[in-house]
Each structure stands twice: as structure tokens, then as C-alpha cells.
Amino acid sequence: MLLRIDNLSVSIDNKKILNDYNLEIKEGEVHVIMGPNGSGKSTLSKAIMGDTRYTVTSGNIYFNGKKLNDLKTDERARLGIFLAMQNPMEIEGVSNADFLRTAVSIKNDGKLNLYEFAKNLEKSYSNLDMDKKMIHRSLNVGFSGGERKKNEIAQMLLLEPKLIILDEIDSGLDVDSLKIVSDNINKYKKENPKTGLLIITHHQRLLDHINPDFVHIMTCGKIAKTGDRKLALELESHGFNIINAKNEQNNIKEESSNE
């Protein structure tokens, strides 16, 4: 099992966000998390990466059988977990090249072939249809929303993770950029078939390009319903009423069993 989350409860500022959350992702699988605002989607990604603002009050997270709970964010990243953030940060004075050179060097225990690194960095920017001049600009400073998201994918390509978490990677992307980003993700997955992919999104448009194995709908800090891509289409057509309908059916069954 690549990723296993057992009965995970997570709080921030003493407010519980995830509530006995369970999820399993096998090697090569693509999972999609959808749900209304405040349901805990982004909290899940932050908890997996070990964001210290979020407190795990119960439950465990395992990656390739290794318990992550007590590991720092950089330790989890070195294991092969990558998070493309919903709102990538700006770092003035640190170029994209410097940032990535340091990250790749740390991942490889200080070993770095500068020629290969430079060649791969330019190739990733070219594949993402990004101006190569951006390589030497400060990290995300002055970048548009779409350029920041592409920059996240460039980082993914250079770091070669085993588990990719995409937190609303489609937000801020126009139609052409969405296809470019999706093509790069699909190409990486094809070349690295054991890599797992966890996509957090509000919309099914990304799934026109990336085919999921499972679609999960979250409400109230846990998964309320699981299906395939058809579930995302159903959600697009009917909204979260499909979850309300399921809850009503469950209530009717419970009442019937009590009579």
C-alpha cells in the first residue's frame, strides 16, 4: 500500500476538521477528492505533508508502510511525497533555479550533476510552455496564477515523487494551460507507473484530461461517497444534493430497522 490513512482526526485552532478519516491509495492509482468548501480537502493534504499548524488528535498516516505522524515535512518530502499547493508562495531573492537546485540536491543526499539538472530544468519549462527566463526570476514573484501552477508542476518533474498531491492545481489555469499541465502529469505517470496521484478539486474539468480510478466526495471531514469518474459528472450535474439524498436514504433505513 502506497498511502494508508487510518481513522485520522485533525484539528486547527482547536476546531476539528478531519473526523476519523480513512483512505487507501495503491501504487499507480489515481484518486480524486471533491467536496464543498470547509469539508476538509486541503486539510487532508496539509496533514499528509505534516504542516505544523494542523494537529493530529488521533489516527495514523502510513507511506510505503512507514508511519509518518512524527516526521517533519522535509522528511516526508524526502520519502517521495510531493504537494502542489493551492496557493504557491513567493520568495523574493531566491530564484527558481536556486530553489530547485537545493531541493533536488537534498533529495539526492547532496549529489547533483549540474549539467543534467540545468538540462532537465530547461526541458520541464519548455514542456510546460513557460518562458525560460522565468528560471532565473525570484520564486513565483510576479507570476500569474497559471504560471505559479505550472511552476509547481515543473518542481514535480524535477523532484520525481512517488506520491503526488495536487491541491486545486486546475484553479487559475485557462483551457490551454490546463491541457498542458494535464499532459505533463499524464506523461510523468506513464513513465513512472507506480506513482500514486491524489487530486483535490472542485470541478470535473480536470478529469476530462486525467482519468481517475476513484472519486471520493467529502463532507464533514470524512468521505461520504466513493465511485468512478461518473460520480464527478453526477456531482457536476446535481451538486451535493447527491450526498444529501444518500443521507436521507440511510436515515430511512435506520428508522425502518428500529421499528
pTM as predicted: 0.91
The answer to whether 188 and 154 are in contact (CB under 8 A) is no
pLDDT of residue 244: 61
Task: Note whether residue 101 is domain-resident.
Answer: no
Task: Note whether residue 243 is domain-resident.
Answer: yes
Full domain range(s) for residue 207: 3-92+163-258
Task: Note whether residue 32 is domain-resident.
Answer: yes
Dmax of the chain from CA atoms? 74
Residues of the chain scoring pLDDT < 70: 242, 244-259
Which amino acid, 182? S
How far the first Cα of the chain sits from its last, in Å, is: 42
Torsion sign, CA atoms 223, 224, 228, 230:
negative
CA nearest to 84, candidates 221, 206, 204, 224 = 206
pLDDT of residue 204: 85
Which amino acid, 121? L
Sheet holding 222-227, edge to edge: 81-84, 163-167, 196-200, 30-34, 214-219, 222-227
pLDDT of residue 250: 43
Tell me the CATH number at 46.
3.40.50.300
- The count of domains in the chain is 1
pLDDT of residue 240: 76
